[in-house]
Amino acid sequence: MEESFRKFDEKLTPDYIDSKTIDEMVMNQVIMNAMNQFIPSRMTSSRWKLPWIDNTIKRSIGKKKRLYLTKLKRVLHQLTGISFRSTPELLTAR
C-alpha cells in the first residue's frame, strides 16, 4: 500500500496539480488499485454453508422458524378466521 502511495506522490508534480481533471483521474486510479488489492472480494455461497453454522445453530434456526409460523397460523386464525390450509401463500417464510 505504501508503494502505491509513493507512486501517487511521484505523479503529483506541479504540472499535474494545475490540471484538476488529471489529478482526479490519478487519485481515482490509486484508490481503485488500492481497493482491488486490499479489500477482499470473496462472496459467501449461502446461509447454510457458512463455517460458523453447525448443526445446533441450524436446529435453532429451524425451531425459531417453526415457532414463528405456528404462532402466526394461530393468530391469523383467531383474528380473521382464515385457516392455514386454505391460504398457505399468506405464511411464506421471511
Cα separation of 19 and 85, whole Å?
Answer: 70
| Count: domains in the chain | 2
Cell of 71: 404462532
With a CB cutoff of 8 Å and minimum separation 6, the contacts of 37 are: 1, 4
Domain coverage including residue 14? 2-38
Given this model, what pLDDT does residue 66 score?
A: 93
Top-confidence residue, 43 or 79: 79
Given this model, what pLDDT does residue 65 score?
A: 93
Distances (CA, A) of 89 to 15, 67, 86: 66, 18, 9
Considering the domain boundaries, does residue 86 fall inside one? yes
Considering the domain boundaries, does residue 84 fall inside one? yes
- Alpha carbon 44 to its chain centroid, in Å, reads 9
Given this model, what pLDDT does residue 50 score?
A: 78
Total-model pTM: 0.39
Q: Give me the residue label for grid cell 425459531.
A: 64
Q: Give me the residue label for grid cell 482491488.
A: 36
Considering the domain boundaries, does residue 82 fall inside one? yes
Considering the domain boundaries, does residue 49 fall inside one? no
